[in-house]
Structure 1
Amino acid sequence: MDTMATSIKSPKKRAAGGVQRDGRFSMTIEPQGQVVRGTTVRFGGVTVVAPKPEESAVKKQLAAGKRAVSQLKKVLVSPGVRLQKTPDTPIFRADPRDASLVVRVLNGRSVRGRFIQGQFVPLTEQ
């Protein structure tokens, strides 16, 4: 396993006379030894230096990503929503005759009503 070196430095003065954005410290994380092909990422006062992955690993991950996208595309382009429901699961929809009501379909039976304090109340019970 590669080891990483971490160094924490006090704020440096900038050429314009100011201090670093975070104003407290900066941190650099880099692998031990010399990095032949590396990449540097900075965010805030933290700098991370890491070796670039091998070209074969990049190509392998790109191919895996393309396969995942092609499988996902098959699912995303089909319209509609599939509901996995059990027989005792109520389905609610807007009442086409009255916009202030909803219709609950439960076990093949439709009942008109409305929600009061988060609970469905049929019209006959109001």
Structure 2
Amino acid sequence: MTQCTDHADAEVKGIARYIPTTLSKGILLLLPGTAWFAFSAIREHPSWFGFQNLTELEQTLTAALASAAACIMLVIVLVLDMAIAVHHSKHRRTVHYSNTHPLMSFKFLASNATVLHWLVLGLVCTSFFAAGYVVAKT
């Protein structure tokens, strides 16, 4: 007896196999930043949110709860997005695109650069350095 086996995911390797969509990658990158931002925004500026009358311990606990709530919301969205991606992978293939073109690598650009390119790049870097020096001195 032969069994119908789905080999749609066999071609996808690495982290893209476990995090299939762009939204899930974005949410995973947002999680640590959201936790830090929510905590520090409430803790450092309690008057923005009306918490100036609370004690420091209560402000810290409120900031920690808000940070945890924001992270939990993001995790729920992440789980829903990945559940939808897993459900749809049985009906259509998940296509993984590469956002790098082989001719746009640093190795290719450096090997094909002319003297004029290096001079312009040096001029741009020097002008930014000079502008930063002038701004720092004033």
Fold similarity call, TM over 0.5: no
Structure with more relative contact order (C-alpha pairs < 8 Å, separation 6 or more): 2
- Higher strand share goes to which structure? 1
Task: Give the structure-2-normalised TM-score.
Answer: 0.26
- Structure having the higher helix fraction is 2
Q: TM-score w.r.t. structure 1 length?
A: 0.28
